Amino acid sequence: MDITAKTLHGLADGLAKKEFSASEVVKAYIAKVDKDDANIKAFLKLDREKALSAAAAADERRAQGKELSPYDGLPVGIKDCIVTQGETCSCASKLLEPVVSPYDSTAVARLKAQGIIPFGRLNMDEFAMGSSCENSAFQKTANPRDLSRVPGGSSGGSAACVAADFAPAALGSDTGGSIRQPAGFCGIVGLKPTYGRVSRYGLVAFASSLDQIGPMTNDVEDAGIILDMICGKDKMDSTSLPVAAGGFAEAARNGKDLKGIKVGLPKEYFTGSGLTPEVERVMEEAKAKVKALGGELVEVSLPHTKYAVAVYYIIATAEASANLARFDGMRYGARKEGRDLVETYFKTRGEGFGAEVRRRILLGTYVLSSGYYDAYYLRAQKVRTLIRRDFEEAYKQCDVMLTPVTPAPAFKFGEKSDPLQMYLSDIFTIALNLSGNCGISIPGGVCKETGMPVGIQLLAPALEEAKLLAYANAMQR
């Protein structure tokens, strides 16, 4: 039996039936990493001894009937911008390479409370800025489905980790599509929860009004399982929402059809949106599936989302320029000494940050500078409100929306050398972050010629994850 091909719920069943122990599970995943990660390069770090001793402790608890949850002792990969106590947290940046976190992020602490083992540090685009993992300062992660192609980004290491069966699940973060786009590229499930559903405490901030942590898994039920563990109010993050939460795994499991459900198709995301023929075909198949499951297709409109990429690259860069100001090499990180303080700042930040991060800091500083603030930043905030209203209007006519994840499947390394071309990878994912709502990417099909996966995206109103997961599960079945 191949343990590493299982889901979290499949592994939990096996643990309950004593088909295998948590130690055997973790050993199997480590063996898989040792065999394949030299080519895939999903992990920046993996402390094998620590994972094995955590698994042994879980087995001990289970033997005494004191397991922390049915998932006690299962490994979950962690994106390198979500801190785990005692482990490095570089955000794939040279500037933070030496940093070891003195504390757990709330998401990781909540996983640990259920007995989950935080499994290594996964590669990403530096500070989560990118769509291909090519912006990592350390290594380029390959797409497990085709090693000449990118896994997507910025949570490319997390997507590759799950797709390569290095762990049954991983945590990613999504600011403009960084969970959903790599999930689509690698043929797995990726959920961006509603803004405020999951605490951002211990997530290194990129754009604070957009960032959310979420699960990347093999199936929809597993996404619900992880969300159940990590969701909920946290006093350490004032933007986390004080709403009753949980029951997401059960909601996912119960989703069997779409009877009576109105599925909106935002017209701007289909005709004339530059879909490749293969993505178009998969979308047609998805529409047929909706109807076969008893759902009704309705055309809706998101007129202002045509500005989403432009608005995002003003708001996200503005917030990033402020958030990244703290990385000056004084209290932590890699300091490059200069002759005086100012030169030390220049050298530390000039050499520590990669080209894309510097580009974003420059852009963000520019749009916030006096004289340009009103013309760019303030204006972008107004358009963000219009985009949010577009979603509110659309949800008056439908329960969920169905869209592509990306215009095309995973591209080859080096194929998108122009930053603007790269930014356009996210045209169908970015508006969701600006609206604050939730969305999920699930496998939709594969390209006939290349065999590369194509994802489909379901979107739902704020705090409707239970419905979203139920419908996604119905589609996936």
Which residues lie near ligand GLN (CB under 6 A)? Answer: 128-131, 154, 174-178, 206, 316, 426
- SS3 (DSSP) at 470: helix
What is d(CA 37, CA 141) in angstroms, rounded to the nearest whole number? 9
Least Cβ distance, residue 77 to ligand GLN (angstroms): 17
Catalytic residue among 79, 192, 289, 416: 79
Q: Is 154 a catalytic residue?
A: yes
- Residue closest to ligand GLN, measured at CB: 178
Nearer to ligand GLN, 131 or 141 (CB): 131
Cβ distance to ligand GLN smaller for residue 130 or 196: 130
How many whole angstroms from its chain centre is CA 448?
27
Burial letters 124-137, b for 16+ CB under 10 A, else e? bbbbbbbbbbbbbb
Residue number with CB closer to ligand GLN (158 or 178): 178
Question: Shortest distance, CB of residue 454 to ligand GLN, whole angstroms?
Answer: 18
The verdict on whether 69 is a catalytic residue reads no
Q: How far is the CB of 126 from ligand GLN (least distance, A)?
A: 10
Per DSSP (E only), the strands in 321-406 are: 400-404
In contact, 76 and 119? CB cutoff 8 Å: yes
| Shortest Å distance, C-beta 154 to ligand GLN | 4
CA distances from 97 to 80, 92, 100, 299 (A): 11, 7, 9, 48
Query: Does the annotation count 178 as an active-site position?
Result: yes
CB contact at 8 A, 407 and 274 = yes
Contact call for residues 184 and 216 (beta carbons, < 8 A): no
Catalytic residue among 131, 136, 173, 178: 178
Assess contact for 308 and 434: CB atoms under 8 A.
yes
Residues pairing with 79 in the sheet: 122
* Residue 212, H or E segment: strand 212-217
Name the minimum Å distance from CB 227 to ligand GLN: 18
Q: So which residues are the catalytic ones?
A: 79, 154, 178
